[in-house]
Amino acid sequence: MQELLADPATCSSLLERHGSPLNVHDFSALPRNAAELTEVAEGSGVDLRIFVARKANKTLGMVGAAHRAGLGVDVGSERELGQVLEAGVPPHDVVVTAAIKPDPVLRLALESRSLLVLDNLDEVAASRRVAEQVTGARSAEPGRPADGASGAPEPFPVALRLAPKPSDLIPPTRFGESARAWLELIDSGGLGDLLRVDGVHFHLHGYDPIARATALGEALELIDALRERGLAQDGAFVDIGGGIPMSYLDDAEQWDAFWQAHERQAPESGLGGGARAADDDRPAAAPDAGEDAPTAPLTWRREPLRQVYPYHQQVIRGPWLERLLGHEIRPGATAGQALRERGVQLRCEPGRSMMDGCGMTLARVIQRTSASDGVPLVGLEMNRTQCRSTSDDFLVDPILVRTGTRDDATDPSVAGAGQSRASERFEGFLVGAYCIEAELILRRRLAFPQGVAVGDVIALPNTAGYLMHILESASHQIPLASNVERVGGGEAGGSGGDHPSAEVADRSRTGGTDHSSTAVEGSDPRPDVPGFKRDGIDRVLPIRA
């Protein structure tokens, strides 16, 4: 992506062609991110299977990149599942983990024989009912054989989602049932004979590898109990979910300095209340404000950031997994040893850490203005949901691509008395298109040492994981952002290399489904930008034509 940022003309052309904001992807980093995990697992003698979380990035380009890399895909809705299957991902490479599974989700999962993760007892009952509809066979009840027992259909593969016991280390979770609840269901015959338990799944909030190893130990105990009941035999697995950490920032000193300034601005806020990962470098205590307290606000209206992703972490991906596998889950036995002894496969569903380095968001500067109290503002052609996750703010500095006009340098009606607002130092906040006061793209004050002009491009780096898509909204009926993928040669992170034909691959017909009514090609006279293609998801969802 560095080469693209060094090419203002191409940045402008992309926005002219596809609108602002625009999500630009390059998935060549995905296989390397996955390899950091698989290499550690192989070194520990552990069989690892990675399923990339589809919710982290909605593009079909991500699905294709994961499949080409030999990875599975984790899906959370009927539409996600249908798109992945239509894209050619085989059902055995798909896991359905949706938190809420209406009948259409269950039906498609069962009909395709994708792995279905069962969350609770009601979901088991619903899955049994839908399985009976799919097969035409009635599931066995306690004391009664299944209909057509001699020619009974092959049971559907499922996993049981375990809710690990809460402790000082393991936070409570809304996902799953206790091991006791699952075993009582099985012992009472409540699972029926149309569902086959192949493994155990769990989901934990946070990034502590020791907490994850502890929960893994509990899951392996459930595997042992299932095997005693004839379940989870050959090919059994434990899926530890997502939440495998990454680090956006290389420099721990920058991370520390930000929080120190944050505390001097708002000492009553503590450390911002942000979620902390193991080995997070945020300082344990902030220095006294003293005479060094900043006068200009660091954040919008000096509001503290209370919940943030740990943007700097030391132990990520491979080293994180190494720490997990090396932790003793019982005296004399590490997590890795316990998996090997049982012949149990380890599975995971990372999203953000697989999307590290796979994309950025470009947005056009529309205006420079100020609030009524004089706070400087830079208006972007985007809204705050287009770079947002559950974190209070995106704590990576944007990059200014200088493409706009600076003709206002001598226009006093614009710049005032020979001063150029476009080329002089400027500090202010990025604001967006929604008609609310707190429509902040970023909640931090930003400095533009050489100014900012209308028409310039703001690049928000490394947004492919969650930030582009997880909360995006089309309020005011403003179209969702378009998505393009770099095509051709070159290393990960670069826009350069070969510039193949500008023809965009037509993905409007997949799996026999005609999406041509929402296709963007054919009648559009605007030329495509060499080296980039529109992602197929833009033909399915309501986006800018």
Q: What pTM, to 2 d.p., does this model score? A: 0.85
Q: pLDDT tens digits for 51-75?
A: 999 999 999 999 999 999 999 999 9
* pLDDT number for residue 265: 86
**pLDDT tens digits, one per residue of 73-83:** 999 999 999 99
And the tokens for 22? 């625009």
For residues 273 and 504, give the distance between their C-alpha atoms in angstroms, rounded to a whole number.
Answer: 46
- Cα separation, 227 vs 233, whole angstroms: 6
Query: Tell me, what's the pLDDT at 538?
Result: 74
Least confident of 97-106, 354-363, 451-460, 525-534: 525-534
Q: What is the pLDDT of residue 417?
A: 32
- Please give the sequence-ordered ranges of beta strands (E in DSSP) within 234-307, or none if there are none: 237-239
Please enumerate in sequence order all residues whose Cβ is within 8 A of that of 544, keeping only pairs 6 or more positions apart, or say none: 18, 19, 479, 480, 481, 482
- Cα distance between residue 208 and residue 315, in whole Å: 10
Instruction: Work out whether strand 156-162 and strand 195-202 pair parallel, antiparallel, or are unpaired.
Output: parallel
Residue 19 clears pLDDT 80, i.e. is over it: yes
Q: What is the mean pLDDT of the chain?
A: 85
User: Which pLDDT belongs to residue 139?
Assistant: 66
Say if CB 356 and CB 29 are below 8 A apart.
yes
Q: Which domains does the chain have, with CATH numbers?
A: 2-26+357-539 (2.40.37.10), 27-245+316-348 (3.20.20.10), 252-302 (no CATH)
| pLDDT tens track for 193-229 | 999 999 999 999 999 999 999 999 999 999 999 999 9
Q: Are 335 and 216 in contact (CB under 8 A)?
A: yes
Strand partners, 447: 427
The answer on pLDDT for 45 being more than 70 is: yes
Query: How high is the pLDDT of residue 296?
Result: 80
Q: Centre a 10 Å sphere on the Cβ of residue 191 and count the other Cβ atoms it contains.
A: 24
The confidence score (pLDDT) of residue 339 equals 98
Task: Let me know: does 348 contact 237? Beta carbons within 8 Å.
Answer: no
Cα dihedral value 98, 104, 110, 112, nearest 10: -100
Q: Alpha-carbon distance 397 to 437, whole Å?
A: 22
For 482, the enclosing helix (H) or strand (E) is strand 482-486
Q: Which structure tokens are listed for 316?
A: 């990520």
**Tens-place pLDDT, residues 90-146:** 999 999 999 999 999 999 999 999 999 999 999 999 999 999 999 997 765 554 445
- pLDDT in the model for residue 309: 94
Question: What's the pLDDT tens digit per position in 332-377?
Answer: 999 999 999 999 999 999 999 999 999 999 999 999 999 999 999 9
